[in-house]
Amino acid sequence: VFKVRRKKNRQLCVLKERKFAELGRKRDILNEVALLERLDHPNVIKCYGHFWDHASGALYMVLEYADAGDLYSHVIKRRMKGSYYTEGEIWVMFYQLCLGLNHLHSNGVIHRDIKSLNIMMCKDGMVKIGDLGVSRQVGQETMMLQTFYGTPLYASPELCENKPYNEKTDIWSLGVVLYEIGCLTPPFSGQNLISLADNIRNARYPEMPRNMFSESLTRMVAMLLQKNYQKRPSIKQILSWFKEPPVLLPQNTESKFKDGN
């Protein structure tokens, strides 16, 4: 990954190199490019274009630059300092993630690897979903998928059990990220992959401290982290809750991030 400037407007961008020979994932890389160039939302990293270097077998993508790095790095720094986000800050970030995810799902796209490392931050407070390399567009004939992609800590129970899954797997991962933003650590852990998967399958995780977080926030996490994907809310349902209970937002949130379409 390189930091570059576009010639036509001197805009700072990211140049992402993908070498087919090294990764052996040509289909996934081409998929990422096609998706990114079609998607256009303030809470999703924009792809401005791409070009090939056939000599080296590499594809280069020109991506939007997020000037504050990834959410994972911010969480780690805060954990080391013991500096928790305020609940107002948590809701603002979560709301933006919901807007971005709504754009993906509205376009029939399942991200499949939502995690703090793939969420980019900007100094102006904007939060953006990035790295759609393992995303998948779902048509009417393939509403359920069965290929395991993603990161174990953020994987849904249906993924851990190698069962068919749909866009609700992103809702689970969103719940993991929401918990992580609040507690500065992911909800699920284990001494090995087997115990981790067992905790995920049974939705076993430490309760969020009630003296630190409102009932609205802990309830939201619980609704997203339901074992049965059919009981998890859709992203549109989640967004509707920002206009009515159980979610009560800081007054300035809706005015700053009101464009959810």
Closest CA to 71 of 92, 50, 40, 48: 92
Do 8 and 92 share a domain, yes or no? Answer: no
Do 143 and 228 share a domain, yes or no? Answer: yes
- Tell me if 140 is assigned to some domain: yes
- Tell me if 76 is assigned to some domain: yes
Higher pLDDT, 252 or 77: 77
- Tell me if 129 is assigned to some domain: yes
Higher pLDDT, 217 or 17: 217
User: How far, in Å, CA of 69 to CA of 215, rounded?
Assistant: 30
114-123, 143-152, 176-185, range with the lowest pLDDT: 143-152
Do 60 and 104 share a domain, yes or no? Answer: no
User: How far, in Å, CA of 208 to CA of 56, rounded?
Assistant: 49
Containing structural domain, residue 37: 2-64
Do 113 and 19 share a domain, yes or no? Answer: no
DSSP code for 194: H
Do 177 and 93 share a domain, yes or no? Answer: yes
CATH of the domain at 24: 3.30.200.20
Do 31 and 84 share a domain, yes or no? Answer: no
**Burial zone of 216 (CB within 10 Å; 0-12 exposed, 13-18 middle, 19+ buried):** middle
Is 46 within 8 Å of 1 (Cβ atoms)?
A: no
User: How far, in Å, CA of 258 to CA of 261, rounded?
Assistant: 9
Q: How many residues does the chain have?
A: 261
Q: Note the pLDDT tens digit of each residue in 221-247.
A: 999 999 999 999 999 999 998 876 445
Do 130 and 21 share a domain, yes or no? Answer: no
Do 123 and 94 share a domain, yes or no? Answer: yes
Q: Which of residues 64, 79, 102 is at a domain's end? A: 64
Do 120 and 211 share a domain, yes or no? Answer: yes
- Tell me if 261 is assigned to some domain: no
For 195, residues 6+ apart whose C-beta sits below 8 A from its C-beta are none
User: How far, in Å, CA of 139 to CA of 9, rounded?
Assistant: 37
Number of domains observed in the structure of the chain: 2
Do 93 and 157 share a domain, yes or no? Answer: yes
Model confidence, pTM: 0.83
Could you list the active site residues?
A: 113
- Residue 224: predicted pLDDT: 98
- Residue 112: predicted pLDDT: 87
Do 119 and 184 share a domain, yes or no? Answer: yes
Q: Which of residues 14, 41, 64 is at a domain's end? A: 64
Beta strand spans in 66-204 (E):
109-110, 119-121, 127-129, 136-137
- Residue 217: predicted pLDDT: 94
Reading the block at residue 224, the tokens are 């997203």
User: How far, in Å, CA of 193 to CA of 214, rounded?
Assistant: 32
Q: Which of residues 23, 44, 64 is at a domain's end? A: 64
- Tell me if 244 is assigned to some domain: yes
- Residue 36: predicted pLDDT: 76
DSSP string, 34-100: HHHHH---TTBPPEEEEEEETTTTEEEEEEE--TT-BHHHHHHHHHHHT-PPPHHHHHHHHHHHHHH
Do 224 and 248 share a domain, yes or no? Answer: yes
User: How far, in Å, CA of 225 to CA of 171, rounded?
Assistant: 8
CATH of the domain at 218: 1.10.510.10
- Tell me if 32 is assigned to some domain: yes
Do the strands 109-110 and 12-19 form a parallel or antiparallel pair, or are they unpaired? unpaired
Higher pLDDT, 4 or 160: 160
